[in-house]
Structure 1
């Protein structure tokens, strides 16, 4: 949405070339008034496509984790391994982390209302908080089990099957982690990335079962709890990364490179004399922008508006995952003039 600052009175337009320029500007404004793809169907379709990809990732990864847990459950029945039983139950529970994300993606499809004027995209950030809490719970549970096993060592049976189950658990979780993280970054969903990191922690837990079985096979029963402690430390590092990702979203942080890219795009627009404040924020997996530009102080209202519209148009085309932009045009000059003097006491 383009905005302009205080209107400036244009000069006479009686000459032919001035009239031609006016017609060109009116033509541009007609383009603005006509329903534009960035403000209607295309933007909505792009947002729905991103949500659909997220839902598809959740469904496929949910199926993969359930299959992994079922394979482990069969081996638990054959081996009687309590450690593997814990990992199997953990994988079943972790498959269910897709539920809050699926709810968030579904909510994100809802249209904005007079109460939720920016829509429901922030539901993804709330789901991300839940996932971070689940990663923290995973770290606490893994650490507790490892310390308990250090205090009370226990023998393991059917080590070969237990080791195989550990490999299955690691491979299944790592595949899900890579899939979620890749698509999450492509569609800009911090919550999906956090959930991918969560799956990676579960892979580490399964790997601990494998390494512990190997140590027990070599006659060192304490290998299992020691490795468990090390894996708990690794999960804590993953927890830090996931928490930082969600914290940045909740605090409206963006990559400074995106700000620099937006400034370059605006500076290249014909009629932009200077680039002022540029603000970006994530709403779900979409970006919104609020920018200020300076135009000639003697430009007419129509000319200033046309420059603002072109700036918005360029931003929408060239800035990745940008769904909406508000461009405010201020008169640039005359020297020493403050066009916002009346607002100084409010800033």
Structure 2
């Protein structure tokens, strides 16, 4: 019995030390090793308690205490295994991203965080952020906002090793995107800004490798989004279903080119699992390019 008590105290001391140092270093492996030492200590304690129960005249004390200690060990193993497996799969604790959003609230000039991806590399946290700022701001001003955000992130997350911050270019590059593939097409109508509960984004006519297409670049949307453009022509209605790009589900595009002229009244029909809405709009070609 004395040996069991000494074994429990010694293993628990080692466990507390390893867990504390592991948390300071953000080492999931060292923390798991500390929990391993704790299970060894519980095993020693089970022997002592079982022997004490039998000595007091309770022969079932040994198996009962053994089962209880086994359940405790299972709980400890699950806790440590979950942390190690999460990190091995590039996962992070739920509170990490909440801290990132909280840090961004302390930085002026950030309209919203578009995307956050965080992961552990060794003992250091690495995060990739996409933020939205006022498009009218200069590059110098935008970089100053990013630098302020990095300082806030470091203050909220001492384990942060690196923060890669990119700017959401939505809307900034919208007009030039019609020339992505080098086609000599310089009279695309101004894009239509879509603002609705179902989806927000930009609807425009762009040049692609396969020719002109109607493209809906989505900023945010509800689940199950579908989009159709109906163009009112003098003698008929031209229907252009927009389908998701295989490389980017935030981009819906027609499979055929919209007919000329590119000056028309139309309706963008949006539907999702939550409902539907019709958004009327008009596209006009720039002066000097009308057909």
Q: Does 1:172 align with 2:73?
A: no
Match in the other structure for 2:126: 288
Distance 2:142 2:85 in 1: 38
- Could you say which structure has the higher strand fraction? 2
- Could you say which structure has the higher helix fraction? 1
Question: Residues 233 and 261 from structure 1, CA distance in 2 versus in 1: closer, same or farther, beyond 3 angstroms?
Answer: closer
Distance 1:283 1:327 in 2: 18
Distance 1:263 1:226 in 2: 48
Match in the other structure for 1:346: 247
Match in the other structure for 1:194: 32
Question: Residues 187 and 322 from structure 1, CA distance in 2 versus in 1: closer, same or farther, beyond 3 angstroms?
Answer: same
- 2:168 counterpart SS class: strand
Distance 2:105 2:202 in 1: 22
TM-score normalised according to structure 1 size: 0.47
Match in the other structure for 1:271: 109
Q: Per-residue CA shift, 1:14-45, capped at 9, x if unaligned?
A: xxxxxxxxxxxxxxxxxxxxxxxxxxxxxxxx
Distance 1:177 1:167 in 2: 15
Match in the other structure for 2:90: 252
Question: Residues 338 and 327 from structure 1, CA distance in 2 versus in 1: closer, same or farther, beyond 3 angstroms?
Answer: farther
Match in the other structure for 2:161: 323
Aligned residues of 1:296 and 1:331 also touching (Cα < 8 A):
no
Distance 1:319 1:229 in 2: 40
Gaps of 5+ in 1: 1-162
Aligned residues of 2:87 and 2:120 also touching (Cα < 8 A):
yes
Match in the other structure for 1:239: 77
Q: Per-residue CA shift, 1:119-171, capped at 9, x if unaligned?
A: xxxxxxxxxxxxxxxxxxxxxxxxxxxxxxxxxxxxxxxxxxxx100100111
How many aligned residue pairs are there? 185
Q: Does 1:308 align with 2:146?
A: yes
Question: Residues 288 and 220 from structure 1, CA distance in 2 versus in 1: closer, same or farther, beyond 3 angstroms?
Answer: same
Q: Which has the higher contact order (CA 8 A, sep 6+)?
A: 1
Deviation of 1:229 after TM superposition, in Å, equals: 3.6
- 1:273 counterpart SS class: strand
Gaps of 5+ in 2: 173-191, 194-200, 204-215, 219-243, 249-291
- 2:91 counterpart SS class: coil
Deviation of 1:225 after TM superposition, in Å, equals: 4.6
RMSD over aligned Cα atoms: 2.9
Question: Residues 231 and 267 from structure 1, CA distance in 2 versus in 1: closer, same or farther, beyond 3 angstroms?
Answer: closer
Aligned residues of 1:295 and 1:332 also touching (Cα < 8 A):
no
Deviation of 1:333 after TM superposition, in Å, equals: 4.7
Deviation of 1:203 after TM superposition, in Å, equals: 0.8
